[in-house]
Amino acid sequence: MKKLINFFVQYPTMVNLGLLLTLLVGIISFSQVRYTLDPSEDPKEIYVDVIYRGASPLEIEESAISRIEENLRGIHGMDRFTSVSRENSGRITVELFEWADINQVLVEVENAVNRISDFPVQMDQPVVYKQEMLNPTISIALTGEIPLQQKKDYARQIRDEFMIEGGVSNVNLFGFGNEEIVIELNDAQMARFGISFQKVADAVKSTNIDMTGGELKLDHANWQIRALNKKNTALEIAQITVITGVTGERVLLKDIAEVREVFEDRTVDRYLNGRESVVIQVLVTNDEDLVATAEYVKEFAEQFNRTHQGVELTVVEDISGFVNERAASLWENGLVGLILVLLILTLFLDKRIAFWVSLTIPLSLLGAFIFAMMGYDLTINVVSIFGFILVLGMLVDTGVVVAENIYRHYAEFGKHPIVAAREGAAEVAAPMTISLLTTAVAFSIFFFLPGKPGAFFSEVSFVVIASLLAALIITFLFLPAKMTHSKVLTKENRQTRFERFFTNSLITLRDRWFMPFTDLVSHRWKWLNVGAFLFLLIISVTLLRTGTLPLTFFPYLDDDIQLIRIELEPGTPADTTNARLIEIEKALWQVNERLTADRRDGEQVVRNVERLMGPNSHQGQLRVVMMGGEQRGIPAYELNNQFREEAGEIPGARYVRFLGATAEQRFGGLPVDISVTGTDLNQIQLAAARLKDELERRNDLVDVADTDQRGNPELHIELNRTGELLGLTLQDVMAQVRSAFFGHEVQNLQRSRDDVRVWIRFDDLTRNSYDELVKLTIRTPQGAYPLSEIATIYPTNASLEVSRINGRRTIRVDADLADPSLSAPAILSDIEVNIISAIQTEYPGVQFFIEGQNREAGLVTDAMKKVAPVIIVLMLALIIINFQSFSQTVMVLLSLPFAFVGVVIGHIIHGVTMNIFSVIGMIALVGILINNMLVLITAFNDNLKADMSFEDALKDAVQSRFRPILLTTLSTVAGLLPMIFMGGLASAFLQPPAIAIAYGLIFGLFITLTLNPAFLVIWNQTKLGIMQLLGRTDSTPESIEPAVQLKEHHNRSAL
């Protein structure tokens, strides 16, 4: 390092060239970084989708889901699998460990599915695919007084233009179902002509064909033989001949049925602010620029509206706006933090030294972007910006130490500027390198965290580590040269009156007040000092354990898009569900009017409300798009409380839930999420209902719901004696009933890009009448009979939506906190002790498992437990290498836990609930504190090597390192102050780690300068006492110190 420093000091042109390259390449790298809402994540889930039209959830579970699950057991890399079976479909979700290769597991899952060869004939082949990490970017709604089919056609044209002209890779369309051709039979007409259901199906299949018959090879040409009679429209299909009489008369399909083109019989309607709409959603991959894509879509929408009449494109959700707003807020915080850091540098350092040290900040940040070009997918988002803000103060640490040591060699030792720069920088090169490596190792733990916390803070880790490594290179290769060839190390560099005043004031503070204080508490009152710190630590832990300082899993994340979900009793008509949603929507707009009236700018708090029907007739939801959190100023949960209060009790609702659009995906789900599992479904239902009822009575929880989703009421059919005598089987009867009411799919036509299914069934009027079901004609070889004569029809309990975890039937009961500041662990603990234990006694065959955020936090904690020992060993190794002492390393470790006191004080002052992000902040705090202690103890050891007494060496170390340690602490805290005091709702989840680091460092200042010296004194006196007990009376306080012993060892080795 010394030779390298000397080279750059002697050749300043090389320094300038290096700085210019860093500046240019860094700016280019920064310009290529994409903006995203959150850090990118790797896919960790594989899905198996099952489609079995007309099948009940239980039938899907038995015939497909359970059989596939059995084959999934034992797959390497799989954490667990969950499944849900609904009417007509089912899905298995395979969750992977962080270390698993998703492509390899995908192949094993496909093999597991393919080993089953006897799925029901009517069931589609299961589809296996891996999770696709797509980021919602912008959604636009197409509205207008035109038919839905025209809206669909417009939407498809727009989608094509986005993908072809705009280069957009993923576009989804919502608001309409798949197109179908429905042949609605008339039972009376069929009876008149003696035509059966099967006859109609056979006629369509055999006539509506496109079939090749081979090739006719002639001398002059080869002719293809083909029957081309494929009809693709309802009008054409209606002309198909069903039967032909002996005299040539024909019965066409239109004579016995109405043939129509419709959308599939599924509730998928969408409305934007009360108007029917088709929604076009644009998504981007992790490799695409979210902001640029959104800008293209908005420009397209403006152009479309200018050139089209009677139809309009409206921006419903613009994620890029949220990204820009959050980024702008954090950049503003960062700029304020940078100004504060520079102000502190100016106050504490010589103006020219402050200038050159401050230049290392932007160069180091650009260096981080250069490192990102080497293979790390760094994006600009809330989390990465937080990393840059966090590292601001840390970047000046190395620069301050190096610059001050160079100036010390020049001013105090009278060395030539080049010699002072070379030797002053080289003297601190080793400890500062180890110091930065220690911090880098501490932050590297975040790379090994699973799930979203890992994705979030891995970005922080990279930014901090890359910036510090860049700072290390820039500081030692740029700063000495620049100080040598500037006026810093010349007699022309005179302090201004203000600089002299501030320097003298700082010296007075240090020498008149702080040094006597630290001398008192580190030497004479050392045990009292240690006892006081220990007492504060015990109090802090007690505050946390008793709940005085609330503890929760993850911080509250404000969301600009809120969902209001409603579920009525199964079987409720879609019109009733829609009416309930309209009532809630009116309540939302009333709340919006009040909020808007209270705002000075008159801006609408609620921007758009989407009304979505489905997936079943008794279910629906509202998507409420609000102004950004930074502008809104009111937390989303408070708005939800107002919405809930205004909406009041919803008649007939099983539940109404108000939550953020991403609440169920971020950090494992909701704070309270309990799985009720067992082997007896009835017992599971009863236990889950009891648990749900108990949770609904609690004042600290809201929006309690469960996954015990009941299907529509069922009518069961059994053959009676008459049916049996006619030789009928239940399968024969149900086949005819199914064809008439559910329908029979006779063909699947390819029309343009659509798969258009052709169905035969009775008309809606017939299918919606119980009398028509009773009168349904069942045709037998002996004649036709009404269903009521050959079978018994009776109502039964509803079928279920069946959920499973690892093959066991499960009902999940979840809820949200009434106030995000409440302690989720404390609430869950109370639920386990006072509610679950009682239910388990009543239903001993049922088990309860805590899911959601609790499970995610457990995974993070387990990962930390596995990685932390390795990280600690590496940090210890680095510290031991620096100190060449095990005992001094232990002194550092003993000092670190006391920083928790500052963390607790900070959370209490700001009224912030401690969570796992606070713990992550404490891990970062440890790395920074170790740096300060390394600086102090390294100076102490150097003094001992310079033949100072133990007392003088320790006092001088504290005195000489007071300013750089104070400067490092204040600059790091200053960088975080805007985040703590000015951070908006969008970045509120980053406040806990900022508080942990800032207040931990402030308290750590006293740990480093008073408690650490006290530990050194106590250990020195203890060792000296042991030596004297062993008869080593010649031992002195200095001779037993590792630095002195190492110096003597080197001297002996030299001889």
Q: What are the tokens at 416? A: 């030539």
pLDDT band at 312 (very low <50, low <70, confident <90, very high): very high
**Buried-exposed string 617-638: b where 16+ CB fall within 10 A, e elsewhere:** bbbbbbbbbbbbbbbbebbbbe
- State the average pLDDT over residues 925-950: 87
Q: What are the tokens at 953? A: 């060496």
> Would you state the pLDDT for residue 799?
58
Q: Which residue has the higher pLDDT, 112 or 345?
A: 112
Residue 458 has pLDDT above 80, yes or no: yes
CA separation for the pair 781, 443 (Å, rounded): 80
Residue 397 has pLDDT above 80, yes or no: no
pLDDT band at 585 (very low <50, low <70, confident <90, very high): very high
Q: Quote the mean pLDDT of the chain.
A: 86
* Residues whose CB falls within 8 Å of the CB of residue 198, separated by 6 or more in sequence, listed in order: none
Place of tokens 């609330």: 550
- The continuous run of DSSP H or E covering 438 comes out as helix 417-443
> Would you state the pLDDT for residue 93?
94
- State the average pLDDT over residues 821-830: 89
pLDDT band at 798 (very low <50, low <70, confident <90, very high): low
- State the average pLDDT over residues 875-895: 88
CB 252 within 8 A of CB 240: yes
pLDDT tens-digit series, residues 69-87: 999 998 999 999 999 998 8
> Would you state the pLDDT for residue 188?
82
Residue type at position 659: L
Residue 1026 has pLDDT above 60, yes or no: yes
pLDDT tens-digit series, residues 115-166: 998 898 888 899 999 988 788 889 999 999 888 888 888 988 999 899 888 8
CA–CA distances in Å: residue 435 to residues 423, 432, 877, 931: 19, 5, 12, 5
> Would you state the pLDDT for residue 960?
84
pLDDT tens-digit series, residues 203-253: 888 888 888 888 888 777 888 888 888 888 888 888 988 888 777 788 898
Residue 757 has pLDDT above 60, yes or no: yes
What is the C-alpha R_g of the chain? 37
- State the average pLDDT over residues 994-1023: 92
Pairing of strands 714-719, 791-796: antiparallel
CB 310 within 8 A of CB 144: yes
Identify the bridge partners of residue 817 per DSSP, sorted by sequence position. Answer: 701
Residue 538 has pLDDT above 90, yes or no: yes
CA–CA distances in Å: residue 1054 to residues 272, 430, 1042, 1048, 1050: 85, 22, 18, 10, 6
CA separation for the pair 145, 275 (Å, rounded): 9
CA separation for the pair 131, 136 (Å, rounded): 15
Q: Which of 403-412, 696-705, 753-762, 916-925 has the highest mean pLDDT?
A: 696-705
- State the average pLDDT over residues 722-739: 85
> Would you state the pLDDT for residue 931?
81
- State the average pLDDT over residues 52-72: 89
Q: Which residue has the higher pLDDT, 788 or 537?
A: 537
Domains contained in the chain, CATH given: 45-130 (3.30.70.1430), 135-178+267-323 (3.30.70.1320), 512-557+853-1055 (1.20.1640.10), 558-661 (3.30.70.1430), 670-713+801-827 (3.30.70.1320)
What pTM did the predictor assign? 0.78
Residue 1014 has pLDDT above 90, yes or no: yes
pLDDT band at 984 (very low <50, low <70, confident <90, very high): low
Pairing of strands 89-96, 802-805: unpaired
CA separation for the pair 968, 961 (Å, rounded): 11
> Would you state the pLDDT for residue 821?
83
Identify the bridge partners of residue 80 per DSSP, sorted by sequence position. Answer: 95
Residue 309 has pLDDT above 70, yes or no: yes
CA separation for the pair 589, 601 (Å, rounded): 18
Q: Which of 106-115, 425-434, 494-503, 772-781 has the highest mean pLDDT?
A: 106-115
pLDDT tens-digit series, residues 951-968: 999 999 998 888 888 888
Residue 410 has pLDDT above 70, yes or no: yes
pLDDT tens-digit series, residues 646-679: 998 888 888 888 988 877 777 778 889 999 998 8
CA separation for the pair 278, 313 (Å, rounded): 10
CB 347 within 8 A of CB 502: yes
- State the average pLDDT over residues 981-999: 80
pLDDT band at 710 (very low <50, low <70, confident <90, very high): low
Specify the range with the lowest mean pLDDT, choosing from 341-345, 372-376, 854-858. 341-345
% of the chain residues with pLDDT over 90: 25
Q: Which residue has the higher pLDDT, 350 or 910?
A: 910
Sign of the alpha-carbon torsion through 454, 460, 466, 471: negative
- Residue 603: CB atoms within 10 A of its CB come to 12
- State the average pLDDT over residues 310-314: 91
CB 82 within 8 A of CB 804: yes
- State the average pLDDT over residues 20-26: 90
> Would you state the pLDDT for residue 1004?
92
* Residues whose CB falls within 8 Å of the CB of residue 19, separated by 6 or more in sequence, listed in order: 363, 478
Residue 896 has pLDDT above 80, yes or no: yes
Residue 267 has pLDDT above 70, yes or no: no
> Would you state the pLDDT for residue 711?
60
